[in-house]
């Protein structure tokens, strides 16, 4: 084996010493990997803004421009033809409305006759007239197994303001529309005509970070006069939201006396879709009973 020349040894030693000199030796500084106070305040500000936007979106303050109305879907129960689990299945349902996915809770040991009674309220995109339904068996040690599925057209009468409850066929290993049935209820509320007026979302500033409010120009020199005046008066503009009608247990009980065999959650959904109007809800339930 050839012995390295002295000049080569000196070159390697100099390179190693240069690399060692770039390494920090000793205790790490106190602020190592620590978020600065200003960053923490920014994160808190962003969180407040996100919460405000989410609350405004969910309360109906504004809607996307490409929707026709609000669709309410109640996933009531299913009757499946076969149990595919080693033990009793733990089914849950996944809905796809447009590009949005919704999931019910799992009905543990629901087997072939699971019940969910879960209501979903969603904006219905323009041109969407059907939904996709998938029934999964929740598994503990493997991927959840899809046991049934279906492509369901939304009944046309729903878009006229009627509430429809019906059983829809499911496909699966047994064949097309031979895996069982799922019980769904639909109702639709039309949004007001024309675009929803835009209003800025404003979050009340904290004492330590006064520029938290979204859409406020940063710094007093860039402030728009109307916003500056609004800030000085400590008033916060809010969007004019449509407050949902609160349906009480007593309301549901009064209607359920006329429909003792009707599920309580279905009655509550119908009352909500009719803004608490009991007469309209009763007419809708009578229509559902006659159709079934």
CA 69 to chain CA centroid, Å, is 17
Which pTM does this prediction carry?
Answer: 0.49
Confidence at residue 225, expressed as pLDDT on a 0 to 100 scale:
45
Q: Measured between alpha carbons, how far apart are the two ends of the chain, in Å? A: 94
Confidence at residue 6, expressed as pLDDT on a 0 to 100 scale:
60
Confidence at residue 59, expressed as pLDDT on a 0 to 100 scale:
46
Q: What is the pLDDT along the chain (292 residues), one digit of tens a residue?
A: 555 556 666 677 777 766 666 655 666 666 666 655 455 566 666 666 665 555 544 444 455 668 888 999 999 999 999 988 778 899 999 999 988 899 999 999 999 999 999 999 998 988 999 999 999 999 888 889 999 999 999 999 999 989 999 999 999 999 999 999 999 999 999 876 555 444 444 444 444 444 444 444 444 444 444 444 444 444 444 444 445 667 888 888 888 888 888 888 888 888 887 777 887 788 777 777 665 5
CATH 3.40.50.150 fits 67-190, yes or no: no
Confidence at residue 223, expressed as pLDDT on a 0 to 100 scale:
42
Confidence at residue 8, expressed as pLDDT on a 0 to 100 scale:
63
Q: Where are the domains of the chain?
A: 67-190
Confidence at residue 281, expressed as pLDDT on a 0 to 100 scale:
80
Confidence at residue 277, expressed as pLDDT on a 0 to 100 scale:
81
Confidence at residue 96, expressed as pLDDT on a 0 to 100 scale:
94
CA distances from 183 to 86, 151, 210, 264, 281 (A): 25, 14, 52, 15, 19
């Amino acid at each position: 084996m050839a012995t390295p020349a002295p000049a080569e040894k000196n070159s390697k030693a100099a390179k190693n010493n240069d690399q060692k000199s770039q390494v920090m030796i000793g205790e790490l500084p106190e602020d190592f990997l620590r978020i600065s106070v200003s960053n923490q305040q920014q994160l808190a500000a962003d969180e407040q803004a996100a919460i405000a936007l989410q609350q405004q979106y969910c309360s109906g303050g504004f809607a996307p421009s490409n929707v026709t109305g609000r669709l309410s879907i109640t996933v009531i129960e299913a009757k499946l033809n076969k149990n595919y689990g080693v033990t009793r299945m733990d089914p849950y349902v996944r809905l796809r409305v447009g590009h949005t996915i919704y999931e019910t809770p799992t009905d543990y040991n629901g087997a072939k006759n699971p019940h969910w009674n879960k209501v979903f309220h969603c904006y219905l995109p323009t041109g969407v007239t059907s939904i996709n339904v998938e029934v999964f068996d929740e598994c503990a040690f493997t991927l959840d197994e899809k046991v049934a599925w279906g492509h369901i057209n939304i009944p046309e009468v729903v878009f006229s303001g009627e509430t429809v409850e019906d059983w829809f066929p499911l496909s699966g290993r047994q064949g097309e529309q031979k895996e069982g049935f799922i019980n769904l209820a639909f109702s639709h509320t039309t949004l007001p005509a024309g675009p929803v007026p835009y209003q800025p979302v404003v979050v009340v500033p904290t004492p330590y970070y006064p520029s938290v409010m979204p859409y406020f120009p940063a710094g007093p020199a860039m402030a728009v006069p109307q916003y500056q005046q609004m800030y000085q008066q400590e008033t916060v503009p809010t969007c004019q939201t449509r407050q949902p009608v609160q349906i009480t247990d007593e309301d549901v009980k009064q209607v359920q006396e006329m429909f003792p065999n009707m599920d309580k959650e279905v009655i509550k959904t119908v009352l909500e879709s009719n803004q608490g109007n009991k007469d309209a809800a009763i007419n809708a339930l009578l229509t559902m009973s006659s159709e079934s």
